[in-house]
Homo-oligomer: A and B are copies of this chain.
């Protein structure tokens, strides 16, 4: 758990597996799904309602990817109408803590970020196009 050098192979290389793995969770929805499932197993429609703004398509994609990567388990109950439950695997559980750290960081520094943005936008810095500034903000 220490920050010893060996824990960090060459993440700067494009073919670094570590980098590739890191990329798994560096997207818009995965962290939120981790959060949602942290509360226990959920059905598709429950997650859909829990995470405001996600479409069925994105949720399906995200869940599939997470399942493939071993983060999520998908259990189908053979009843009509079908019931499908998703839950975190043990591997997925290990993600909870790190992702939580991120979330806490976001919460704690939210105001500083907002202030920095305002300051930046008011000065005459090279203006940033909306897109690049906030990323995927157009819902």
Residues of A with Cβ closer than 8 Å to B? Answer: 1, 3, 7-9, 11-14, 17-28, 31-32, 35-36, 50-53, 61, 64-65, 67-71, 91, 94-95, 97-107, 109-110, 112-117, 119-121, 125-126, 128, 132-137, 139
Contacts and interface: CB of A to CB of B under 8 A. Distances in A.
Nearest to A47: B12
Given A14-B52, A17-B110, A94-B109, A28 B31 contact: no
A129 to B, nearest CB: 9
Contact of A135 (B50, B65, B106, B134): B65
Contacts of A106: 18-19, 21-22, 24
A133 B61 CA distance: 8
Contacts of A1: 104
Given A18-B110, A32-B11, A107-B9, A98 B102 contact: yes
Contacts of A61: 132
A68 B14 CA distance: 26
A32 B8 CA distance: 12
Contact of A107 (B18, B26, B68): B18
Nearest to A62: B132
